[in-house]
């Protein structure tokens, strides 16, 4: 039996830890340096999914539906970093393992958009026309958000000016939306749902990645540093579930795609031997996957599938700014 994707990701994490331990055992002139920090982060962006369906002409013909879920949230959590540092070069490292675990602290209410394009408008007793046929906006409350990242790197090229390291890592993002109210139009008819729950939506992204990190110390100072990481995930796994409360309908997908992650980070210490440090940076993450979506109605005794699998695409793009205060020991 093939391992599930989550099990494969756990094996990836375990392999990273073993590789790191092996590097440490082989380094006779190095010691551990540990950092524990608290990070606050502001993340903004959106996820979007689109379905395409082909009905009989009398039922509307070809159609397309698009839902956009914006995100604006403050997150906070812990960051732990373990470095293999040469004893004679305190601010150079051979290998490094970094773990981040964050959750949402507060989120801003945003506007979810739901748009539909129908080929045969006359099937719904409206005149034919090009363009968007159905459109609603709703209040989007981000109920939960989790961010997890584990990254292992090893410096294979070191000079006085910079260090270059390959990166192996795994990133996980979970977002849960509660959608309330709706206002818009169905063709020429205005529509409003009122202040009721209309939809709930969850998306989670599993992103195992490979990349390259470039690090250096500006002005050759041991009090400051910068890191630029560029990573690619060729086997991103994206799951989502959409529950239309008013129609009691579930839509579910799990598909593979790819993802890109770019992180630029700076660090500063008040003194070279200081045990406290500050890190600040920005992160951009984008993913895309396509495949199929299943739609069904679930009762206490049976699950009724409504249609054959529907063509499906999902994408997300998020930009984060963060500040990390850490203790070095």
Q: Which residue has the higher pLDDT, 69 or 156?
A: 69
Average per-residue pLDDT in the chain?
86
Residue-wise pLDDT tens digits, 304-319: 777 777 899 999 999 9
Q: What are the DSSP calls for 4-63, one per residue?
A: PHHHHHHHHHHHHHHHHHHHHHT-TTEEEEEEEEEEEEEEEEEEEEEEEEE--GGGTSEE
Token code pair at residue 52:
């395409």
What's the pTM?
0.86
CA distances from 208 to 106, 154, 233, 285 (A): 27, 17, 6, 13
Q: Which residue has the higher pLDDT, 82 or 33?
A: 82
Cα separation, 197 vs 153, in Å, equals: 45
Cα separation, 229 vs 262, in Å, equals: 6
pLDDT at position 230, please? 98
Q: Please name every residue paired with 252 in a beta bridge, in sequence order, or none if there are none.
A: 241, 294
Q: Which residue has the higher pLDDT, 306 or 289?
A: 289
Decide if 57 contacts 66 (C-beta within 8 A): no
Token code pair at residue 262:
């770019």
Q: What is the CATH number of domain 5-328?
A: 2.40.128.90
Residue-wise pLDDT tens digits, 270-288: 887 788 999 999 999 999 9
Residue-wise pLDDT tens digits, 76-128: 999 999 988 766 654 566 789 999 999 999 999 999 999 988 876 766 767 77
Domain ranges of the chain: 5-328
């Amino acid at each position: 039996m093939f391992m599930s994707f989550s099990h494969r990701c756990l094996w990836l994490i375990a392999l990273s830890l073993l590789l790191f331990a092996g590097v440490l055992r082989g380094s006779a002139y190095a010691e551990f340096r540990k950092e524990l920090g608290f990070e606050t982060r502001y993340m903004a962006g959106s996820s979007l999914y689109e379905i395409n369906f082909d009905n009989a002409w009398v039922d509307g013909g070809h159609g397309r539906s698009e839902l956009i879920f914006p995100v604006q949230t403050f997150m906070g959590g812990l960051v732990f970093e373990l470095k293999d540092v040469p004893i004679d070069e305190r601010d150079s490292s051979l290998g490094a393992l970094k773990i981040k675990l964050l959750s949402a602290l507060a989120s801003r209410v945003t506007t979810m958009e739901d748009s539909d394009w129908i080929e045969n408008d006359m099937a719904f007793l409206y005149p034919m026309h090009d363009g968007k046929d159905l459109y609603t906006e709703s209040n989007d409350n981000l109920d939960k958000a989790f961010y997890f990242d584990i990254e292992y790197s090893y410096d294979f090229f070191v000079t006085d000016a910079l260090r270059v390291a390959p990166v192996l890592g795994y990133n996980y993002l979970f977002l849960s939306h509660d959608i309330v109210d709706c206002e818009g139009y169905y063709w020429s008819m205005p529509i409003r749902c009122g202040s009721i729950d209309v939809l709930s939506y969850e998306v989670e992204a599993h992103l195992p990645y490979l990349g390259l990190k470039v690090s250096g110390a500006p002005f050759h100072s041991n009090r400051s540093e910068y890191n630029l990481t560029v990573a690619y995930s060729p086997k991103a796994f994206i799951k989502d579930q959409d529950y239309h409360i008013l129609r009691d309908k579930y839509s579910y997908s799990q598909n593979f795609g790819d993802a890109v992650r770019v992180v630029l980070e700076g660090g500063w210490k008040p003194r070279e031997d200081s045990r406290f440090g500050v890190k600040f940076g920005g992160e951009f993450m984008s993913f895309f996957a396509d495949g199929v979506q299943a739609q069904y109605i679930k009762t206490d005794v049976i699950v009724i599938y409504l249609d054959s699998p529907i063509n499906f695409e999902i994408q997300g793009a998020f930009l984060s700014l963060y500040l990390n205060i850490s203790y070095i020991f």
